[in-house]
Chains A and B, each alone.
Chain A
């Protein structure tokens, strides 16, 4: 038995070794069968939930749909501050201001009732090849089925043998906006956009009352604020003035959806086979989806019908030196295919990246300790790549996100809330005691920037240097911001009526309560925070809860200090300053408002209303500066920081500059495949000695057994005794 086992194992080992072929043996990618240049990357830690442009509203989903769809507007890849550009449009939208009767008025006219945006499309926009556009000999749609069994053989989009395409019409953009309003799609934009787009609310209510069986052609219903002028021109009318609307035009919600695509996906039985627009997007962008296996990988391929597009010839200061303009003027996209593999665990992802099987690492955050410790060392000049990564010539692409994470005070709380001088001083004392810089260094490995301003870098209203310092918490010393001393914080506490951290009237110790999301904050972090406040004699109690419970507390105002964050939808100060706008308080609007601090400040709200409708310029900048001053002087948040994450790039990937707002950057990436193949081979030579050692070890275990067994079998009765 043992002999047979050993022989079997050896044979198996030999067979496996011979079947492995030429090294490397650890290549996780399937053998290449074509000459398409493929970019290899990851999706982590879970696949996208929605890819329907009317529904999708998560950044990990944007990674895909922003390559497939082309909204009217886009962003300059290199320039900072972020610069909005026409994408599917031939030029910037034409803006007209109208009164109630639809007559043109000046933008500051008190009779202004509406703003009309006229959008003129490029003439070379064309959809990707797709079966929904395939026509039969009579010119009728090729794939429309009367019942579920008729099309049962098609389980995925590549199963359809015939495809077609067509030019993008202005009506497709109108149809897409109608889909936002269709209650059947449950778009997250419906509630928000209904406030602006004229007739959207009524349109939605009209559709809600219609019983439907299969596809509902939205072209049969009209929305007051939408007009198709001609095949390439449409207009959108919104209520009043809302200059930020143009930023929304750069989001996937406003990407075109062809009615025949919508009809195709409403074929009977398609939904049961996951053949939906939510799963198989159809666009006119640089790439199209050719495989969607959420369990393992998503594959995008170059859209052969993509319009003419070129790498930008201008960039931000320093881009030329950094090599980001090497491909200036070249036609894009550079890669033919992009494969995104699902990686849930850190070790496999990291190992494959270091072995060269992934071109880029995906986002590496400062608080993902395992990876971070391997990848980086925190040196005198900040975060640097570790020795192992340097040997592989791996570069990093850091990105300060246009977002802010913070611990906010509930301004309605009887202890820390309120607008009196004492309350302001109490909050400022707490702000000074919490060393954000130390916190970021310890718990985020320096990957974050302490916020002096509610507006992050790269967005108008954020000032660098001395002009941007929060004077209530910091002093400007020797060319750098220095946190005020703990002694000063103690003085503020005395003035606030809490000498040595005790209530001067009752003698009771001051105890603050912080609601934290249990998954986001660990014990070490909580202990550190407690120690910080103990310096000024203040006690802390943490109340950990999951997001659902935390959200409930915020909605009801049942919190004292809470953790929260915001990532910008668009690069405008309005998208941050609204976080403290009074009517956005959940207690005021009785909704899921964004002003979770319940900050109510008459001047601030008035400034916000004026700032919101002003175009960019000195007047608006002055209002923004005043609002920032109010935010600082009222000490609304305990601490805040701008998150920073890092992408790591193998040396054969080019044009890796990050864009904080737009994810439509795949088309700019270039890969040197020859170098990639060479390095992969070099880094992945198998170590075979463990196989031989293993075989010998097995033999060493089995052989004594065989010998002992044979001896026992051959032994005489006397010997056995």
Chain B
């Protein structure tokens, strides 16, 4: 397994280079270094000298990909792409265009993201599995059909509706919790109830329907009939027989998300005022802060690759027949 993991990690290097190249190209298709300078310097008295000084200070005074004026390897190394990308692979994210240290910001902001994403993730999976198993228990009854109708309806509603509706009802009309905000110390839970509730409810439709499909596939297997014939209770059949056998597809969809939980949610964080990495990314895009965008995409790619490796490893735990080679 060790050799497998090392090989997968080595595969990650070209993937990361590719992702970085793509991000770089997409960003500079719509923005030039001059645009970035103007965005940072403001709209008044922006002289060409000020723009040139900003570009020099922030390392954007070189060509993007090929430096025709440089000799030898310098044609590649003395470019914005090379100088900005190389540091990423050493996990040196540098400073944002407004001058803040990105590593410090990321390490500070990942915890609020996790504080929302982790409970949403765990409670969401628990609720979805429970609801799906309940529906499977009443398969082919009127309850099952209404449940599927409800799931599809819930899936069809925009995520924004859940957020604004939740804020309007729970926080504005009923005044049960603060409408937004976050406190790292003390009463953080008070601020997490609503975003977690919204996240869980918004995910029930698609999640429970997906698990129902998986469980139904297993519920028709011979071993389930055998267990029932042996007199096992329905609860026992669902949790001790069906659930473990349906784990492989569940793990495929779930484990890959675990590392990405650090990255937070763009919408939830923005609407609920959670100072996490999701809103960090959104703000960076709005303010054309390429240093942050590049770093966040890089971190996101690494976490996704890590998630895929963890998924593979989790297969061996869920099904002893699986061997990684």
Contact = CB atoms under 8 A, between A and B. Distances in A.
Q: Do A and B bind each other?
A: yes
B181 A46 contact: no
A279 B272 CA distance: 25
Contact of B104 (A23, A186, A273, A344): A273
Contact of A27 (B45, B168, B178): B178
Given A57-B42, A705-B134, A709-B137, A295 B108 contact: yes
Given A344-B270, A348-B179, A186 B54 contact: yes
A171 B239 CA distance: 77
Given A1-B130, A272-B104, A344-B270, A592 B177 contact: no
Interface stretch (A629-637, A638-646, A683-691): A683-691
B98 A49 contact: yes
5 contacts: A1-B235, A183-B53, A192-B47, A273-B104, A713-B233
Contact of A591 (B47, B99, B171, B275): B47
Interface string A643-667: 0000000000000000000000000
B175 A2 contact: no
Contacts of A548: 31-32, 34-35, 38-39
A355 B175 contact: yes
B173 to A, nearest CB: 7
Contact of B99 (A192, A278, A293, A355): A278
B164 interface: yes
B72 interface: no
Given A272-B103, A279-B100, A347-B167, 13 more contacts: A1-B133, A2-B130, A28-B180, A49-B40, A57-B44, A191-B49, A295-B275, A296-B275, A348-B273, A687-B176, A690-B169, A690-B170, A691-B176
A149 B296 CA distance: 27
A687 B48 CA distance: 59
Interface in A250-290: 271-274, 276, 278-279
A30 B46 contact: no
Given A188-B44, A296-B273, A685-B175, A272 B101 contact: yes
A348 B271 contact: yes
Nearest to B36: A548
A188 B41 contact: yes
Contact of A186 (B32, B48, B50, B137): B50
B57 A186 contact: yes
Interface in B277-301: 279-280, 283, 286-287
Nearest to B235: A1
B130 A5 contact: yes
Contacts of B187: 30-31
A721 interface: no
B183 interface: yes
A293 B137 contact: no
Interface of B: 31-32, 34-35, 38-42, 44-50, 53-54, 57, 95, 98-101, 103-105, 108-109, 112, 130, 133-134, 137-138, 164, 167-183, 186-187, 189-191, 193, 233-235, 238-239, 270-273, 275, 279-280, 283, 286-287
Contacts of A23: 175
Contacts of A691: 176
A342 B273 contact: yes
Contacts of B47: 191-192, 591-592
Contacts of B283: 46
Contact of B138 (A192, A272, A547, A708): A708
Contacts of A19: 189
Contacts of B32: 548
Contacts of A183: 53
A205 B39 CA distance: 25
- Interface SS of chain A: helix, strand, loop or mixed? loop
Contact of B168 (A16, A26, A30, A347): A347
B234 A712 contact: yes
A592 B324 CA distance: 62
Contacts of B137: 705, 709
A325 B133 CA distance: 70
Contacts of A278: 99
Interface of A: 1-2, 5, 16, 19-20, 23-28, 30-31, 46, 49-50, 57-58, 183-184, 186, 188-192, 271-274, 276, 278-279, 293-296, 341-345, 347-348, 351-352, 355, 547-548, 551, 569, 591-592, 684-688, 690-691, 705, 708-709, 712-713
A31 B275 contact: no
B175 A30 contact: no
A200 to B, nearest CB: 13
B178 A345 contact: no
Contacts of A58: 42
A296 B234 CA distance: 49
A684 B180 CA distance: 15
A351 to B, nearest CB: 5
Given A341-B181, A348-B179, A691-B176, A713 B234 contact: yes
Contacts of A687: 173-176
A345 B104 contact: no
Given A191-B45, A191-B47, A50 B98 contact: yes
Contacts of B180: 28, 343, 345, 348, 352
- Lowest 4 CB-CB distances: which A-B pairs, in order? A295-B275, A348-B180, A191-B47, A28-B178
A57 B38 CA distance: 13
A295 B109 contact: yes
Among B177, B181, B187, max chain A CB count under 10 A is at B181
Given A186-B41, A709-B234, A343 B273 contact: yes
A713 B170 CA distance: 39
A690 B174 contact: yes
Nearest to B286: A46
A28 B177 CA distance: 8
A717 to B, nearest CB: 11
A46 B180 CA distance: 15
A344 B272 CA distance: 9
A587 B22 CA distance: 37
A294 B42 CA distance: 19
Contacts of B112: 295
Nearest to A271: B101
Contact of A188 (B50, B105, B164, B234): B50
Given A46-B283, A345-B180, A26 B41 contact: no
B65 to A, nearest CB: 21
Contacts of B44: 57, 188, 569
Contacts of B130: 1-2, 5
Contacts of B105: 274
A686 B174 contact: yes
B30 to A, nearest CB: 8
A30 B186 contact: yes
A590 to B, nearest CB: 8
Among A352, A685, A691, A712, max chain B CB count under 10 A is at A352
